[in-house]
Structure 1
């Protein structure tokens, strides 16, 4: 059985953490640049997936869902602006912001959604996210 939406998004968070670590530990400048490019690309894809699959579920199933989804979208937009001008020197600050965002999602948002959203819907959204990955 495929993972549900929340488990897949948490797995993407762990992948982002790994990519950030690659940037932070690469010794050679060319490897650091390549790792940063990969991390920023993965971050953009992840944000788009959350907006496509997570935000509608938030809007529908949490009492303050529309506001929460809008707040999350605004955070994504701010991170995207920061990422657009991000170089190796600015990566650490961006990564700190993203790490805090991911921690808040995992400790506050995802548990609330798991309580409020039917498991079958989270499963279906996970399947849709997996299908979207194939076409990206």
Structure 2
């Protein structure tokens, strides 16, 4: 069975971690700037996908969903502009999503909907 929305978002988290590591280990200032630009672009796409697909599901399927989605949106806004000093905050945010938020949504949201949302995310990635 294809990955659902939550699986895809976790995979994106791993990709962001890899991009952050590229910034942290860049051998020159030029490569560090390029790696930071790539990480910032990926984080921006990821945040947009969460705003478009995850946050509406949170609002609809979790009892405190509107408040959780608003908190998530405020967290994302605090990461812009992305700097290496904010990597720890982004990492903590991703960890919280994976260990607390995604499992709650997986229990509350119909699996078919999460798969449809995953399909939407995959198709959006193909067109970018």
TM-score category of the 2 structures, normalised to the smaller one:
over 0.9
Structure 1: 5+ residue runs without aligned partners?
none
Q: Which residue is 2:24 aligned to?
A: 24
* TM-score, scaled relative to structure 2: 0.97
* TM-score, scaled relative to structure 1: 0.91
Is 1:15 aligned with 2:15? yes
Q: Distance in 2 between matches of 1:135 and 1:73?
A: 24
- Paired positions, count: 128
1:77 Cα offset (Å) = 1.0
Structure 2: 5+ residue runs without aligned partners?
none
Q: Distance in 2 between matches of 1:67 and 1:33?
A: 35
Structure 1 residue runs of 4 or more that deviate by more than 2 Å after TM superposition = none
Q: Which residue is 1:130 aligned to?
A: 122
Is 1:117 aligned with 2:109? yes
Root-mean-square deviation over aligned CA pairs: 0.9
Q: Which moved more, 1:111-120 or 1:28-37?
A: 28-37
Q: Which residue is 1:54 aligned to?
A: 54
Q: Which residue is 2:99 aligned to?
A: 107
1:2 Cα offset (Å) = 2.2
